[in-house]
Amino acid sequence: MSQPSDSPYTTNLNILFPALSLVDVRSVVSQVEAKWFNQTLCKVNDSAIRLGVMQGEYHWHKHANDDEFFFVLEGRFIIDLEDQSIELQAQQGYVIPKGIVHRTRAPERAIILMVETAAIVPTGDA
């Protein structure tokens, strides 16, 4: 369940927009060239708001201590669970409770927001 060593993911955990600054998602998205891109936009209390620009599949993983919220801004985003797949369209969201094994997919380029604790390891627990 850990991230492969030859990871195809670009994950940036630095906070791009500090408090009291304009969060400009469009400007970030326009610069993304990677197929699977994750950028922390800002922090709100103990949570991180992250931007995902994604196409393709993420690996199966889980987070033992943290829930995750996915919200689709553009495109189609699929969350695979062990017994079902949830397909999200623009303006739809879904919460994955802690401890649930899941994989996310975007058949075409999708732009999503994620809300999770700032301490979460995005690639999952080892």
pLDDT average, residue stretch 26-38: 95
For 64-118, write each residue's pLDDT tens digit. Answer: 999 999 999 999 999 999 999 999 999 999 999 999 999 999 999 999 999 999 8
pLDDT at 123: 74
Please, are residues 70 and 43 in contact by the beta-carbon 8 Å criterion? no
Question: How is the chain split into domains, by residue range?
Answer: 10-117
Spatial separation of the C-alpha atoms in residues 105 and 7, rounded to whole Å: 16
Between 59 and 123, the higher pLDDT residue: 59
6 confidence band (pLDDT: 50, 70, 90) = low
User: How far out from the chain centre does Cα 2 lie?
Assistant: 16
What are the E-state strand segments in 3-101?
Answer: 10-12, 36-44, 47-57, 68-74, 77-81, 85-88, 93-96
Q: State the pTM of this model.
A: 0.90
| pLDDT tier, 2 (very low <50, low <70, confident <90, very high otherwise) | very low
CA distance 66 to 77: 20
Q: Tell me the sheet residues that pair with 115.
A: 49, 69
Could you tell me which CATH class the domain 10-117 is placed in? mainly beta
Mean pLDDT of the chain: 92
